[in-house]
């Protein structure tokens, strides 16, 4: 049975010796273990110039056996690497059947330092320790693109924006396919007031990721938000509609942004004078679970009231009045105008 397969990523081996061993073992295992029933020939994915294995993105219908053989072989070969990552998906009628995220996990100093630093990034109060570990990974292997990206994230958390920008730039120089670095770069550009540049960075993050990755949707929502701030309503609606219509499960980092997604999409529709559709989105925002990142209910009610007024629907005064009673100052001024 043929199933859709997606594979993308790069693994760097760091030295001629490690690269040669990886190629040797790939050839040996492909021939002896898997009888050459694998998806790639050596010359398709191995690159001696920088001692790497690289699959920018493959989307292909593949037989299940070939997929399993290739997935197992790549999982083995990755462990000869010093940096990088590979993502592998197998889909059946749009649903994920198998998924693997592969990174080196050997006892090499650069590998272990990166693993430790990457883990510490997510621990509050451990930022300096994270940077120390990531510095060590970079010292051991200066082409460690992922270490630069993670260090950039920590510097952003610490509000060291110049350092964060430097790290993201370095990462992208080494690995121009890293969506996380484009996303981080965009966040710095927003703080620098460079919204047009941020839009390009978010677009790159979208293009360099796939819809199966949470970063793809984080970038999509963020890009739509910037378009909305620039009153580019058509472009905002395009991105925000995709986000708002996506069904995220509770384990997905984007789940908590559902309320904001519907609210922002509603605002873009309001800007496009699609008032009935805007009302629907504001109502969906109000219906979201409580464990969402907070958008003030009063603000949603105010915008729903404005959309109802423009659509000629009853109830718009009540929405605005309810928003005013919740302390929304703009709703208070609207009531004065209506009176």
**Residue at 82 is within a domain:** yes
CA distances from 133 to 156, 160, 173, 177, 202 (A): 17, 18, 21, 24, 28
pLDDT tier at 198 (50, 70, 90 boundaries)?
A: very high
On average, the pLDDT of the chain sits at 96
Question: In this structure, is residue 41 part of a structural domain?
Answer: yes
Q: Please check whether residue 189 is in contact with residue 198, taking contact to mean a CB–CB distance below 8 angstroms.
A: yes
Looking at residues 257-262, what average pLDDT do you find? Answer: 96
Residue 235 lies in a domain: no
Q: Does 84 map to a domain?
A: yes
pLDDT for residue 2: 95
Residue 124 CB-half CA count within 13 A: 0
Residue 38's domain comprises: 2-102
Residue 173 lies in a domain: no
Share of the chain above pLDDT 90, in %: 95
pLDDT score of 281 more than 90: yes
Q: Grade residue 84 by pLDDT with cuts at 50, 70 and 90.
A: very high
CATH number at residue 87: 3.30.70
Q: What confidence score (pLDDT) does residue 137 get?
A: 98
Residue 51 maps to a domain? yes
185 within a domain of the structure (yes/no): no
Q: Is residue 71 one of the residues assigned to a domain?
A: yes
Q: Of residues 295 and 131, which shows the higher confidence score? A: 131
- Quickly tell me which residue has 């890009």 as its tokens: 223
| pLDDT at site 181 | 98
Could you tell me if 301 and 276 are in contact, meaning their C-beta atoms sit under 8 angstroms apart? no
SS3 318: helix
Residue 26 has pLDDT above 80, yes or no: yes
- Reported as a single tens digit per residue, the pLDDT across 135-192 is 999 999 999 999 999 999 999 999 999 999 999 999 999 999 999 999 999 999 999 9
Is it the case that residue 339 has pLDDT exceeding 80?
Answer: no
Render pLDDT for 28-66 as a digit per residue (tens, 0 to 9): 999 999 999 999 999 999 999 999 999 999 999 999 999
Q: For residue 290, what pLDDT is reported?
A: 78
User: Is residue 291's pLDDT more than 80?
Assistant: no
Q: State the total domains in the chain.
A: 1
């Amino acid at each position: 049975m043929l199933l859709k397969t997606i594979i993308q990523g790069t693994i760097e081996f760091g030295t001629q010796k490690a690269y040669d061993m990886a190629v040797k073992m790939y050839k040996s295992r492909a021939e002896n273990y898997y009888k050459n029933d694998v998806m790639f020939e050596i010359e398709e994915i191995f690159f001696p110039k920088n001692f790497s294995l690289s699959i920018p993105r493959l989307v292909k219908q593949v037989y299940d056996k070939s997929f399993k053989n290739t997935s197992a072989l790549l999982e083995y070969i990755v462990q000869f690497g010093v940096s990088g990552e590979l993502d592998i998906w197998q889909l059946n009628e749009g649903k994920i059947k198998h998924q693997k995220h592969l990174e080196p996990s050997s006892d090499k100093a650069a590998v272990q330092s990166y693993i430790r630093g990457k883990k510490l990034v997510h621990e509050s109060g451990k930022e300096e320790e994270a940077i120390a570990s990531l510095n060590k990974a970079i010292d051991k292997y200066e082409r460690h693109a992922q270490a630069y990206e993670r260090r950039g994230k920590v510097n952003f958390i610490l509000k060291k924006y110049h350092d964060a920008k430097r790290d993201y730039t370095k990462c992208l120089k080494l690995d121009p396919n890293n969506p996380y670095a484009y996303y981080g770069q965009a966040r710095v550009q927003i703080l620098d007031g460079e919204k047009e540049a941020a839009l390009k960075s978010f677009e790159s993050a979208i293009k360099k990721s796939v819809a199966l990755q949470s970063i793809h949707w984080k970038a999509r929502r963020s890009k739509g938000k910037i378009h909305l701030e620039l009153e580019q309503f058509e472009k905002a609606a395009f991105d925000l509609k995709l986000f708002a219509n996506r069904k995220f499960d509770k384990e997905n980092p984007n789940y908590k942004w559902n309320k904001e997604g519907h609210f922002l999409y509603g605002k873009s529709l309001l800007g496009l004078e699609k008032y009935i559709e805007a009302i629907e989105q504001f109502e969906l925002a109000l219906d979201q679970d409580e464990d969402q990142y907070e958008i003030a209910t009063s603000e949603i009610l105010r915008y729903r009231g404005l959309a109802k007024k423009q659509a000629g629907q009853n109830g718009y005064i009540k929405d605005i009045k309810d928003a005013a009673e919740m302390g929304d100052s703009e709703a208070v001024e609207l009531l004065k105008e209506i009176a």
